[in-house]
Each structure stands twice: as structure tokens, then as C-alpha cells.
A and B are shown apart, each in its own frame.
Chain A
């Protein structure tokens, strides 16, 4: 079985979903003949036809609104927002409608859509192409916010998102699109949503991350191991609804927690996790909860993005500080 990249795993999952369910439609800007600006939809229009894989006019609010209308009619739209930095015009539709249609109608109508959006920094892209704005939507009840951290996670979580009967915003970490390869079995098996994944077991501290920060956390854990520090790594995967039980169980074991995300620190999703640890896990903690995050600044243009983004070195430094608490 060949090893594939994360973006190829997305493509594989989309093809599988189109194959298994006629209600699945893929659309967005440049997703057709061009196969998406990252090639996530490469070859899909050729294989499934323009009826099912279609370019839209250039309007993010319209893409989201149309997906809601299709979903309410029982289709399974999988729409692409070209970059998460361009998702803002769609927020009205996502927040005021996708998240509420089921609730507003007491389940008479529902909204089983997936909105995919490349997210995060680290690919030397122009302004607005490197944002981490997941918290804006993680805050919204009625939505699911999912972010995979590897090709296998991407395949299984995207299939789960498409089959889910409710709206899912699926952020894809652009830096991981082609960074790593692994074997992905195209077995149509979904991974569970609303579940954090323990990717590496450890005893001394817990690293909690999502998206590309999972990759940095795994690198950090490897290097910490060489320093005789055993780090557990949790991939949050579904940011909302948040599976705190897995995080609490891990911290009950390790006593220390460091949360890693690219988004700005203040009001980031790490703040919610830290507050929940203080609320529900205080007596497990041997040290303050640490956060390694982006700064409370505008995402810099790419000459400084390496300084801005959390990396293994910053995670290791934070981990070592946590270990100083006896």
C-alpha cells in the first residue's frame, strides 16, 4: 500500500464519499477542472462529472448559503472555502443558520453539510492565507469543528464529517498537506468525531494540540524522550464539541499540561481547555497549565511566520518549565 500525503488522503476520502453516496456533492471555487488550489479535489470532476463536482461563482457567503439549502433538502454538500482567511463572509450563514436550522425547527429540518477550509501558517503564503481562526466557530453551539493532524486522521475524520447528520467545519492544516506521508487504507472506515486521540502515551506531562501543532508536539515529545521526559500527546481532532474526558484522564495521570495552538493566545481554544482543567482537574495538577501559542498579534507575513508559529523548541522549553514544579 503506497504512502500518501494529507492532501491525497482528503482526495481519497472525497472520492470514497462521492462513490458511496449519491447525495454527496462537492463544490467551491476552482474545485472542478483545476482540482482545487491545493489539488484536494484533483480528478474528482473528471471521475464523477460536473453534476457532482462543480465550480461555483466566487462568493463565500453564497457557497455556505447554498450548502445549507442543499443540506436541508437531504443532500450531503461538501463545500470548499479556498482559505480559512476568506471564511468571514460565510460566518453569517454558518453561525446564524447552519448551526441553528435543526434547533430553530425542532429537528424538522437539518443541515448535514461539510465546509472544508485550508487553515494555519507555515507555507510562505500571502496575507490572509495563513490564519488560524478555528475558535470563532468552535464557540458556536450546533456546529462541529474538526481539524485533522495526519493523512490517516484526515481520511477517517473527513468521512465521519460527511456522514454526520449535522454541520461540520473541517479545517485542513496547509503545512501538513504535503509534509508527511503514511499508508492510508481506503477502507471507507470513519474515525469517531467528538473524541480526542491519544497519539503517544507518556507519564510526565500532557501535550494537547490540533492540526499542524500536533506534528510539532510529536517532534517535541520525541526530543523530550531523549531528555528522559515522557510526554503524552493528545490530538484534539474535534475541537467542538470538546471531549474533555480524554484530556482530564491524561492529566490525572501526568499532572502537567501544555496546550499548543497556532492561533493567538487570548481567547484561543486553549483558554477554554485551561479553564476546564482548572474547573474539573485542579487537584490532578502539579503545575500551572501552560500554553504555547501564536502571539496576540496579527499573523505576520511569512518572513516572520516561523517566529510566530509554535515549534518543537518552544514546546520543549515550556515542558521543561512545567517539570520544574516538583
Chain B
């Protein structure tokens, strides 16, 4: 018997849960402006997220999937992607969307039951929220194949949860990305819980990153609450994909400090002690402590940031709430590029019925 193949799975962490820098941290660890910007983006996301939950609780928004505790993943993805790369998120990537230039009122419109929310004014090629699990991953391989076909140095970046790694579309996407050497990155936001099913119940695999191995692509595990590590592995993966070096699976370890959605009650299935323990390593506090320790951030900065974010969110909420409902006929108007003749009569009948019939 002989060993025909041998694989290692690496975990990357530079800023530990106690906000201490481990050795050989990259230059970003000393980049005050960049780290401050990442911190601002995380706080901005968190304040928006909390407002969205509050709007749902007071009957002014539909079901919403919060991202509390996982802000670093989306913030770093948006920070490291180039503008002309394409993002294909799940439904929990508010941080990435906001970083990519999606307007807060657009996300509120979508969760408020209005398709116009996915017609991003400033972000034209990123994919809409994907509610089915893992289907965005195979679509991302198609986006990546289009880039490769046109010889464009662009990357398709898809994000999914830990539960999604059980899906056929997940394996199929990784497999194709390997076989075709596609400029594709799959980031798994491993927040430990797929609604009520724990990570351990999802798969016997020791890591989710190792699922890359069978597909013949690069796989790495990263502390998903450590923005320095996240940016570092994203840079490696993005650069490799852009240079034709193929795909990467990034397992970002985090924890869902919130319910699955506002329609969920996580207290039914997970112990409070586990949540409290996870709170000790959450990304916003972790980076703030580090910035404090460097003397790069103080209480005044914090208050000014929170005030600015609250003002921005309040403005978005106002614009969202002031948006009139779509015309009833809008449900016909974007089914096809132009309305097929057989659908013209039903549309006219709906128009005649009016909005209050």
C-alpha cells in the first residue's frame, strides 16, 4: 500500500479573540486607515441590521435575515473585490451588499416585499438575494465561465452558509470550477447553525474547507471574525483567480449571534451559554479593542460613527417607507423582455381592476 495523495487544511488567524495580534501578521495589521474603514463598515452594517429587525418587530418590514456577528465576512469580501467582479450572495450578506454600493433603502424595499429592491441603482451586475440554498454557486460558475470565455480578469464571488455545503449544487459548482479552472471563489459563512441544525449534525467532515480537496481546488479555513485574516485569504484567492490560477473555497468561521430570521427563535434549539461564549469573539468588539489598543480609536470616534450611521439609516428608512407600492401590472412587466401576446389580455384585465379592487 502506498500514499497516492496527501492534503493539508490550513486555518488562518492574525487577530485572535482577545484582539491580540499573532506573529507574522500582514501589513494590514499596521494600516490604521484601512482597518478603521473596515471597522466603520462593520458598525454601519450592524446599525442597519438592528434597525431592520426593529422595523420587522413593529410591522414595517417583512421577514428579515439578520447578520449579527458575521459582519466581518461580508465587509471584507466587498472590501477586497474589485468593482467589476460579481457577487452572488445568499440572503445573509447585507454587509457585502452595503459594501458593494447597494443602497440601504433598496435592501429594505426587498425585505419589505417589493421586487424593486433588487434593481440596484449603483450595482448593476451583482446577483440578487438567493433564497434557495446553494443554487447561486452553480450560477457563479457560469458567471466565472463568462469571464474566462471573454478573457476578462474578473472573479465571481459566491457566499453561502454552512448548511449549503450539504447541497448538490455546492459540490457541483466546486467540481466544475476545478475541472474548468474557473475564476470562482466560494466563501462559506460557517455561522455554526443552519436554522436549528448544528454544524456537527450537518457533516462529519472535520472542516468544510476540506470539501475543496475532492474538487481539486484550493481550500482554506479562516477566522471569519478576524478582518485581517479574512482580507489576507481573500487577496490570495482573488489574485490567483484573476491570474487564471483557478478557484478557492474559503470556510470563514463565525457565529450567528441572532436568530436565523425574524421568524425564528433560536432559544428553542441552542443553549444561551454557547451564544454568550461566541459573543466573546465577535468581530466588531474584537477590532474595536485592537484599534483602541493601537491608540487609533477613542470613545469620541465611536460616538461620532454611531451617530453618523444612525442618521444614514434613518434617512434610508424614511425613503423606504415613503416609496409607494408598485403598480399591480408590474407583476406582468418584468416576466419577459416584452410582454408576449397571450399575456396582454390578462394584464389589461388586471389594469382595469385597479389597485384597490
Q: Which of A32-40, A118-126, A181-189, A236-244 has 4 or more CB atoms under 8 Å from chain B?
A: A236-244
Q: Which residues of A contact B212 (CB under 8 A)?
A: none
Choose, from A104-112, A201-209, A316-324, the stretch at the interface: A104-112
* Shortest Cβ distance from residue A115 to the other chain B in the assembled complex, whole angstroms: 13
Contact A108 B340 (CB under 8 A): no
Chain A residue numbers with a CB within 8 Å of B88 are 69
Known A57-B172, A89-B168; judge A105-B142 contact (CB<8 A): no
Would you give the shortest CB distance from A252 to chain B, in whole angstroms?
A: 17
In Å, the complex CA distance between A165 and B141 comes to 21
In chain B, what residue has the closest Cβ to A75? Answer: B146
Write out the residue numbers on chain A whose beta carbons fall within 8 Å of the beta carbon of B343: 241
Residues 139 to 179 of chain B near chain A (Cβ within 8 Å)? 139-147, 149, 156, 168-169, 172-173, 175-176, 179
> A292 in the interface, Cβ–Cβ < 8 Å?
no
Residue contact A62 to B135, C-beta cutoff 8 Å: no
CB distance from A164 to the nearest CB of B (A): 8
Q: Determine whether the beta carbon of A69 is less than 8 Å from that of B132.
A: no
- Is B120 part of the contact surface with A, judged by Cβ < 8 Å? yes
A69 and B172 within 8 A (CB)? no
When the two chains form their complex, are residues B337 and A106 in contact, meaning their CB atoms are under 8 A apart? no
How many residues of B are in contact with the other chain, CB < 8 A? Answer: 43
Q: Report if A17 contacts B (CB, 8 A).
A: no
In angstroms, Cα B138 to Cα A168, docked, is 19
CB neighbours (8 Å) of B141 from chain A are 62, 65-66, 69
Determine if A61 and B142 form an interchain contact, defined as CB atoms under 8 angstroms apart: no
> Is A69 a contact partner of B140 (Cβ separation < 8 A)?
yes
B172 near A59: Cβ-Cβ < 8 Å: yes
Q: Which segment, of B1-9, B10-18, B111-119, B227-235, faces chain A?
A: B111-119
Q: Do A106 and B116 have beta carbons less than 8 Å apart? A: yes
User: Is B142 in contact with A70, judged by CB distance below 8 angstroms?
Assistant: yes
* In contact, B175 and A69 (Cβ under 8 angstroms): no
Provide the A46-90 mask, 1 if CB < 8 A to any CB of B, else 0.
Answer: 000001000011010110111111111111010000000000010
B120: chain A residues at CB < 8 Å are 108
CA distance A97 to B131 in the complex (A): 10
Cβ 8 A contact of A72, one of B142, B172, B337 = B142
Is the CB of B334 closer than 8 A to any CB of chain A? yes
Q: Closest CB-CB distance, B228 to chain A, in whole Å?
A: 31
Selected from A75, A89, A104, the residue in CB contact (under 8 A) with B118 is A104
Is B357 at the interface (CB under 8 A from chain A)? no
A194 touches B340 (CB 8 A): yes
B128 at the interface (CB under 8 A from A): yes
The answer on a CB contact under 8 Å between A241 and B138 is no
User: In A9-28, which residues have CB < 8 Å from any B CB?
Assistant: 25
**Within 8 Å CB of A103, what residues of B?**
115, 331, 334-335
Residues of A within 8 A of B128 (CB): 101, 104-105, 109
If A51-B149, A109-B127, A109-B128 touch, does A166 touch B337 (CB 8 Å cutoff)?
yes
A75 to B152, CA, bound (A): 14
**A107 B137 Cβ-Cβ under 8 A:** no
Tell me which residues across on chain A come within 8 A of B140, comparing CB atoms.
69
- Residue of B119, B144, B168 touching A69 (CB-CB under 8 A): B144
A142 within 8 A of B: yes
B337 close to A165 (CB less than 8 A): yes
B145 touches A66 (CB 8 A): yes
- Please list the residues of chain A having a beta carbon within 8 angstroms of any beta carbon in chain B: 25, 51, 56-57, 59, 61-62, 64-75, 77, 89, 92-93, 96-97, 101-110, 141-142, 165-166, 193-194, 241-245
Instruction: Show 15 A/B contacts (Cβ-Cβ < 8 Å), sorted by A.
Output: A57-B175, A59-B168, A61-B172, A62-B172, A62-B173, A66-B138, A66-B176, A67-B142, A69-B138, A69-B142, A72-B125, A73-B143, A108-B120, A165-B337, A241-B340
Give the 6 A-B residue pairs with the shortest CB-CB distance, closest first: A69-B142, A65-B138, A73-B146, A62-B172, A66-B142, A106-B119
Add 12 more A-B contacts to A57-B175, A77-B142 (CB < 8 A).
A61-B135, A61-B172, A64-B138, A67-B142, A69-B139, A102-B334, A102-B337, A103-B115, A106-B334, A107-B119, A165-B336, A165-B337
